[in-house]
Amino acid sequence: DADVTQTPRNRITKTGKRIMLECSQTKGHDRMYWYRQDPGLGLRLIYYSFDVKDINKGEISDGYSVSRQAQAKFSLSLESAIPNQTALYFCATQMGDKSDTQYFGPGTRLTVL
């Protein structure tokens, strides 16, 4: 969905480096999510935010942190990247109380060497 953008789309980095993945949306949605997907597996929730002042851990938050800079921006950081964080990362947005449907960005492919 073009209304949800992620940067970068691809990134190769080295173990120990700090990495930030960015997500922006023009849908005006309050809620935003970060997921990771490993090859052949479904998506797993890392962090989610219901509004700018609300940040919550998902099922696999260890090794990650997030920042909700504005309603439209939600960033995911890997403070010290490790090889098992190599994955496809997706950002998603959701309107809020009136709808549960989540809309996903195109994904960021991250490789940690």
Partner 1 sequence: DAKTTQPPSMDCAEGRAANLPCNHSTISGNEYVYWYRQIHSQGPQYIIHGLKNNETNEMASLIITEDRKSSTLILPHATLRDTAVYYCIVLIYNFNKFYFGSGTKLNVKP
104 belongs to the binding site for partner 1 (CB under 8 A) = yes
State yes or no: cis peptide before 8, omega within 30 of 0: yes
61 belongs to the binding site for partner 1 (CB under 8 A) = no
Q: Which stretch binds partner 1 (CB under 8 A): 12-20, 43-51, 67-75, 77-85?
A: 43-51
Quick one: tokens of 98?
Answer: 């009136």
Show the binding pattern over residues 70-99: x = contacts partner 1 (CB under 8 A), - = does not: ------------------x-x-x-x--x--
3 belongs to the binding site for partner 1 (CB under 8 A) = no
As measured in angstroms, the least distance from the Cβ of 49 to partner 1 is 11
What CA–CA distance (Å, rounded) separates 88 from 53? 27
48 belongs to the binding site for partner 1 (CB under 8 A) = yes
10 belongs to the binding site for partner 1 (CB under 8 A) = no
Strand partners for 43 = 37
16 Cβ contact list (under 8 Å, min separation 6): 80, 81
- Ramachandran angles phi, psi of 85, nearest 5°: -95, 5
